[in-house]
Structure 1
Amino acid sequence: MSTDATRAEICAVACSDTWRDAGEVLAHAVGTIPAVSARLAKLTHSPDLVLTDGECFLMSDPPPLGGNAAAGGTVESWAPFRSVFDILSTGRRRSMMGASQLDAYGNQNISAIGDWRRPKRQLIGVRGAPGNTVNHRVDYWVPAHSPRVFVERVDVVSGVGNDRARAHRGPSLRFHELGVVVTDLAVLDYGADGRLKVRSLHPGVSADEVARQTGFALDVSSAGTTRLPGREELRLIREVIDPRGLRDGEVRA
């Protein structure tokens, strides 16, 4: 393991680990660090992971971050936008999304802040969050862990949380699966009660710091330390996947 890794690189490797054992599924990675992580997973522990170039081409060898198939990589096939919904409905897709708000049960908001009838801030809308959380596993990436993101109650439910999924009657949420939440401070997962808890703290981060930056109580009793990247992982991140260093623009030092 390398001790000179930046916080962004530690986060990228933590996100990469979420793709382990995913198999041959289409990776939907929203954000710089998730995009780095999916490429890193493809090039290391999860070669069957299916990546796009951010447009319509499926890549067996992904292009560098920030470029489409024209910038490099190896095109394997293509999937027009209309095909994504077919892939989604079969469960052969997996998503790492962002969140403007998350509550203790993993309900996600990316739609609006405040009363939805007259919001203080209009965001991007629910987009594909409902369909993602209904049909396949979803992980979340939060680049700035704060009580503004981790709230007692989300203003709008975009992605379905564990409490709502468990309370729902009928088979429509049988494929609901929330994985982990990776932030710039820690890796969180869910306990048997469906609530978020701390799986690991990033090196140099204390449990008290995470507690201060979270708007609800978090169980830290079983928290370990997030692993450091290996030398080959760092080489791939720095030289192959993200030579322009875009990752450092998403995660504070």
Structure 2
Amino acid sequence: MTPSAVKDITRAEYCVIACAEAWRGDGEILASPMGAVPSVGARLARLTFAPELLLTDGEAMIVDADGEVEGWLPYRKHLTLVTGGRRHVMMGASQIDRFGNQNISCVGDWEQPTRQLLGVRGAPVNTLNNPVSYWIPRHSARVFVERVDMVCGVGHDRAEAAGPSATRFHRIPQVVSDLGVFDFATPDRSMRLASVHPGVTVDQVREATGFALTVPADVPYTRDPSPAELALIREVIDPSGTRNREVRA
């Protein structure tokens, strides 16, 4: 690993870059970012290397990276994109395991949980019908767990067990946390450490993860944003600094 030569890039800005990279190469596909950092990342991707990316206002309008309305997306058309693999969501996760199974419903036994969360919501439909990445702003062994308490988003092992109907559009491009970037580029489709953000060590990631990660011999750092990308993040997309409220300094 080679440290970054740029000293004033914040951890939040590295997270933005990592989230933006999730949509690289997707083409004309609907981006559905959930959270401040993924939203900044999606807009950055649209303004730079992914100009065909479609963005919405979170309701029924297609917007450009500045939030200006470009068109209308009726709910029927939205569902067509969802069920046809033409949408790439970046969701959160209260728990995620080594195969990418995600939980946002409850902690503890389902019949009498110790904590009630959001509920299953659209996670099963999302994961079985279009690519889903994850954004986790607080990496810890309470989130990265050996086994999720309830499966909401479907991971690689469960999709494979369900057969071709479940794997047709199933894809988990990456998981981004405040410590690094993770993918599933392993023979058994278990989680692999793809990069660490500058200032983070591999040992820190291991200690904060509740299962054994696949760790390559040489783990790179998450790439630096270019000066142009930094200017877009700081001056155009997120001048109020919402990214810094989601990621610890």
TM bucket (normalised to shorter chain) is over 0.9
1:199 pairs with 186, 194, 197, which one?
Answer: 194
Q: Which runs of 5+ in 1 are unaligned?
A: 64-73
* Residues 99 and 190, structure 2, Cα contact 8 Å, conserved in 1: yes
Q: Which runs of 5+ in 2 are unaligned?
A: none
User: Aligned residue for 2:113?
Assistant: 119
Deviates more, 1:170-179 or 1:160-169: 170-179
Matched AA of 2:177: T
CA distance in 2, matches of 1:60, 1:114: 41
| 1:2 Cα deviation from its structure 2 partner | 4.1
Summarize the alignment of residues 14-29 of structure 1 with structure 2, pairs less than 5 Å apart.
14-29=18-33
User: Aligned residue for 1:90?
Assistant: 84
2:207 pairs with 212, 224, 229, which one?
Answer: 212
2:129 pairs with 125, 135, 151, which one?
Answer: 135
CA distance in 1, matches of 2:74, 2:204: 44
| 1:43 Cα deviation from its structure 2 partner | 0.4
CA distance in 1, matches of 2:6, 2:41: 17
Matched AA of 2:190: R
Deviates more, 1:217-226 or 1:91-100: 217-226
CA distance in 1, matches of 2:89, 2:106: 21
Summarize the alignment of residues 1-12 of structure 1 with structure 2, pairs less than 5 Å apart.
2-12=6-16
User: Aligned residue for 1:229?
Assistant: 225
Q: Deviations over 1:72-93 (max 9, x none)?
A: xx21101133432122112111
1:51 pairs with 52, 55, 65, which one?
Answer: 55
Q: Following superposition, which runs of at least 4 residues in structure 1 exceed 4 angstroms of deviation? A: none
* Residues 111 and 122, structure 1, Cα contact 8 Å, conserved in 2: yes
TM-score by length of 1: 0.93
Matched AA of 2:44: L
1:241 pairs with 237, 240, 246, which one?
Answer: 237
Query: Is 1:180 equivalent to 2:180 in the alignment?
Result: no
| 1:169 Cα deviation from its structure 2 partner | 2.9
CA distance in 1, matches of 2:29, 2:114: 37
CA distance in 1, matches of 2:226, 2:187: 32
| 1:159 Cα deviation from its structure 2 partner | 0.4
Query: Is 1:36 equivalent to 2:24 in the alignment?
Result: no
Structure with the higher strand share, 1 or 2: 1
CA distance in 2, matches of 1:149, 1:232: 34
Matched AA of 1:76: E
User: Aligned residue for 2:95?
Assistant: 101
TM-score by length of 2: 0.94
* Structure 2 counterpart SS, 1:13: helix
* Aligned-CA RMSD value: 1.3
Aligned CA distance change for structure 1 residues 172 and 215 (closer, same or farther; 3 Å): closer
